[in-house]
Structure 1
């Protein structure tokens, strides 16, 4: 059976790959097998991966909203766009959860010119800058030009005094974070240049996906019980992580949710973040 990817390329339908992604949602083996059986009866030659995804998502949602939310994670990260401003705040939250201090949306003076810095982080008085490369399309990758360009910016900023966390801070390291993937040349150049990379699947044992799942750092855009407009309203109110709704549930009423819908959202958040 041939299927069509987002990029337009044609590949064989891979049952094992789909099963693996469904199991990552937290659904049981029985639920996943039931979903796969339904999908296999409905797919046809030339079906798009997007249609398969929508079918799988709908079937998972019937079983559990939180399972569907986890399965929706990569799409949810893409919904932190289109400009990527909320993605930058999300990445800051991720590092904060790991014990860092973080500042976003900075303008710092380099040796030669000024630079906008997406995120600055500090742990044990060691300060690093993070440049976020957000892609709205899942097939877009960050190639070698990205770390080459960012290295030049880092070199212009490092070893100079900046007002970030204190009045006299020095940037000593640099990260590049993307919601998609880096090309092999980009990874090789970054490793050679001392830049830290974080992408959807890199580094293999500590990728963006694995960090999110490990600490339940799911964005509000994962939630299936909210509309896109409601998610946007929460993010504008600086609610970026789903878990942040637990202590700010009054915002759900403020954006117009009925008491019953508030209850459903809180139930999904609790299940998604393992608070039950």
Structure 2
């Protein structure tokens, strides 16, 4: 059995299923994805670095689907967003795509103090405040402190509602981050009922799968869209590739202060990424 070495130095068995999923998420069909995954598994040496496997995936995928050349790695695309306001607004848009009613951030009064929250989200009869955490390095873990702070805020807001100070009845908290969660953070969140959405957690509803299921990619998924352009687009209300791909290019150019030619280029590349 072959193994791969991850960025943190840990080893794990080579999983051709992960390679196939990555290829499918790049827009390849099942037959091509299965064939390429098998070829890569056959050719890589034992203990190959995951970064090298990803380079092989991209190279072979481009030969089948040229639009892959216009696409940035999703984790890197998320890291390119500024924490405020871009990633916060991106999370609000993503939650709406998954059926939440979302209000922008505000200040809520607890029994003992006021708390600024990044969003208020409602779904299935529950109302939660959303705390958004962003790290420029996707290798950094999101730790325990965020969960402990969220737990304390939930208690203060619930006591504030009972006392009449808070006008919103809060049922819990939801922390959304662009990185993995530490095991300690996962255990605490589970024990205390704090909702968490991280890069790969929970298994059936993590940030990556939520993005891929609805194709709600950040606009930085388009190669060449750097921090400056992303910031201008976000200031005009455009944080996802879909918004730019299928929006009014002239209006986007005007509102974001970006030349129309550049907007059309980004929109065209975004459509190639999004469409089979």
TM tier, shorter chain? 0.7 to 0.9
Q: Is the contact made by 2:132 and 2:175 (CA closer than 8 Å) also made in structure 1?
A: yes
Q: Could you tell me how far 1:243 is from its partner in structure 2?
A: 1.1
Moved more, 203-212 or 107-116: 107-116
Taking the aligned partners of 1:11 and 1:57, their CA distance within structure 2 comes to 22
Superposed counterparts of 1:57-96, under 5 Å: 57=58, 60-61=61-62, 63-64=64-65, 66-67=67-68, 72-81=73-82, 83-96=83-96
Superposed counterparts of 1:167-186, under 5 Å: 168-186=167-185
1:210 corresponding residue in structure 2:
209
Q: Is the contact made by 1:31 and 1:63 (CA closer than 8 Å) also made in structure 2?
A: no
Q: Is the contact made by 1:180 and 1:199 (CA closer than 8 Å) also made in structure 2?
A: yes
Q: Could you tell me how far 1:264 is from its partner in structure 2?
A: 4.2
Q: Could you tell me how far 1:161 is from its partner in structure 2?
A: 4.2
Secondary structure at the aligned position of 2:171 is classed as strand
Q: Is the contact made by 1:119 and 1:131 (CA closer than 8 Å) also made in structure 2?
A: yes
2:114 corresponding residue in structure 1:
114
Q: Could you tell me how far 1:223 is from its partner in structure 2?
A: 1.0
- Unmatched tracts of structure 2, length 5 or more: none
Secondary structure at the aligned position of 1:211 is classed as helix
Structure 2 CA distance for partners of 1:52 and 1:141, relative to 1, 3 Å: same
- Unmatched tracts of structure 1, length 5 or more: none
What do the CA deviations read for 1:218-267 (whole angstroms, capped 9, x no partner)? 11010126444323321222201111111232224750242xx5554333
TM-score, normalised with respect to structure 1: 0.77
**Is structure 2 residue 23 aligned with structure 1 residue 22?**
yes
Superposed counterparts of 1:1-276, under 5 Å: 5-7=6-8, 9=9, 11=11, 14=14, 16=16, 17-18=18-19, 20-28=21-29, 29-30=31-32, 49-50=50-51, 53=54, 56-57=57-58, 60-61=61-62, 63-64=64-65, 66-67=67-68, 72-81=73-82, 83-123=83-123, 126-161=126-161, 168-224=167-223, 226-245=225-244, 246-250=246-250, 251-252=252-253, 254-258=257-261, 262-274=263-275
Aligned Cα root-mean-square deviation (Å): 3.6
Q: Could you tell me how far 1:175 is from its partner in structure 2?
A: 0.8
Secondary structure at the aligned position of 2:93 is classed as helix
Secondary structure at the aligned position of 2:112 is classed as coil
Taking the aligned partners of 2:217 and 2:71, their CA distance within structure 1 comes to 8
What do the CA deviations read for 1:151-210 (whole angstroms, capped 9, x no partner)? 112211224349xxxx93221221111111222222222122111111111221222111
Q: Is the contact made by 2:4 and 2:13 (CA closer than 8 Å) also made in structure 1?
A: yes
Q: Is the contact made by 2:110 and 2:161 (CA closer than 8 Å) also made in structure 1?
A: no
Structure 2 CA distance for partners of 1:178 and 1:214, relative to 1, 3 Å: same
Taking the aligned partners of 2:204 and 2:47, their CA distance within structure 1 comes to 34
